[in-house]
Amino acid sequence: MSDVKKVTLSHAIKTISGTVVLTGSKSESNRALILQALSQGSVRVSNLSEAADTVTMNEALSLAKRSSTNNERTTIDIGPAGTAMRFLTSFLSLATGSFELTGSARMQERPIKLLVDALQAIGAKISYAAHKGYPPLHIDGPLDQTETAVAIPGDISSQYISSLLLLAPALPKGLTIHIEGELTSKPYVTMTLDMLRESGIEYQWDQQTITIPAQSFGQATLYVEPDWSAASYWYAMVALAKEGSLFLPGLKKNSLQGDIAIANIMTHFGVHTTFQEDGIFIQKATLTREPVFLDLKECPDLAQTIVVIAAALRIPTTFTGLETLKIKETDRIAALQTEIGKFGCKLLEHDGIYKLVTSEYVVPDELVISTYEDHRMAMAFAPLALHFPLVTIEEPAVVNKSYPDFWQHLQEQQFTLT
Note if the bond before 404 is cis, omega within 30 degrees. Answer: no
Burial 241-255, CB ≥16 within 10 A → b, else e: beebbbbbebbbeeb
**Dihedral (CA of 294, 297, 299, 304) sign:** positive
Q: DSSP letters along 128-184, please? A: ESSSTTSS-EEEEES-----SEEEEESSS-HHHHHHHHHHGGGSTT-EEEEEES--T
Are the beta carbons of 89 and 108 closer than 8 angstroms?
no
Q: What is the pLDDT averaged over residues 114-133?
A: 97
410: pLDDT strictly greater than 70: yes
Among candidate residues 326, 293, 283, 309, the one with its CA nearest the CA of residue 384: 309
Question: pLDDT tens for residues 275-285?
Answer: 999 999 999 99
Q: Residue 326: pLDDT above 90?
A: no
For residues 337-351, average pLDDT: 97
The CATH number assigned to the domain with range 6-23+226-417 reads 3.65.10.10
> What is the three-class DSSP state of 79?
coil
Distance CA 67, CA 71 (A): 8
| Of 343, 339, 284, 289, the residue nearest 312 (C-alpha) | 343
The residue-averaged pLDDT of 300-306 equals 95
Residue 198 has a pLDDT of 97
What are 152-166's pLDDT values in tens digits? 999 888 999 999 999
Q: Which residues pair with 221 in a beta bridge?
A: 44
User: Can you list the pairs that 198-205 forms with residues at least 24 positions away whose Cβ atoms lie under 8 Å?
Assistant: 198/222, 199/35, 199/39, 199/42, 199/43, 200/42, 201/169, 203/165, 203/168
Provide mean pLDDT across the span 113-126: 97
Residue 168: per-residue pLDDT: 98
Q: Give pLDDT tens digits for 204-236.
A: 999 999 999 999 999 999 999 999 999 999 999
SS3 103: coil
What does the mean pLDDT of the chain come to? 95
Question: What pLDDT, in 10s, does the model give residues 164-185?
Answer: 999 999 999 999 999 999 898 8
Chain center to CA of 155: 16
Instruction: Examine the pLDDT at 367 and tell me if it is beyond 70.
Output: yes
Tens digit of each residue's pLDDT (9 = 90 or more) over 2-37: 678 999 999 999 999 999 999 999 999 999 999 999
Read off the pLDDT of each residue in 376-393 and give the average, rounded to a whole number.
97
Residues noted as catalytic: 301
Alpha-carbon separation of residue 319 from 188, 302, 358 (angstroms) = 20, 12, 15
pLDDT of residue 318 exceeding 80, the answer is yes
Is pLDDT of 327 > 80?
Answer: no
Cβ atoms within 10 Å of 285's Cβ, excluding its own: 16
- Judge contact between 30 and 233, C-beta under 8 A: no
Buried b (16+ CB within 10 A) or exposed e, 14-23: eebeeebebb
Domain with CATH 3.65.10.10 in the chain: 6-23+226-417, 26-223
Instruction: Read off the pLDDT of each residue in 189-196 and give the average, rounded to a whole number.
Output: 97
Neighbours of 46 (CB within 10 A): 10
The CATH architecture to which 26-223 belongs is Alpha-beta prism (3.65)
Each residue of 41-70: pLDDT tens digit? 899 999 999 999 999 999 999 999 988 777
φ, ψ of residue 324 in degrees (nearest 5): -80, -10
Provide the pLDDT for residue 1. Answer: 64
**The predicted structure's pLDDT at residue 329:** 76
Cβ atoms of 97 and 68 closer than 8 Å: yes
Q: Which residue has the higher pLDDT, 163 or 326?
A: 163
**Confidence (pLDDT) at 179:** 97
Work out the average pLDDT over 325-338.
Answer: 88
Q: How confident is the model at residue 324 (pLDDT cuts 50, 70, 90)?
A: confident
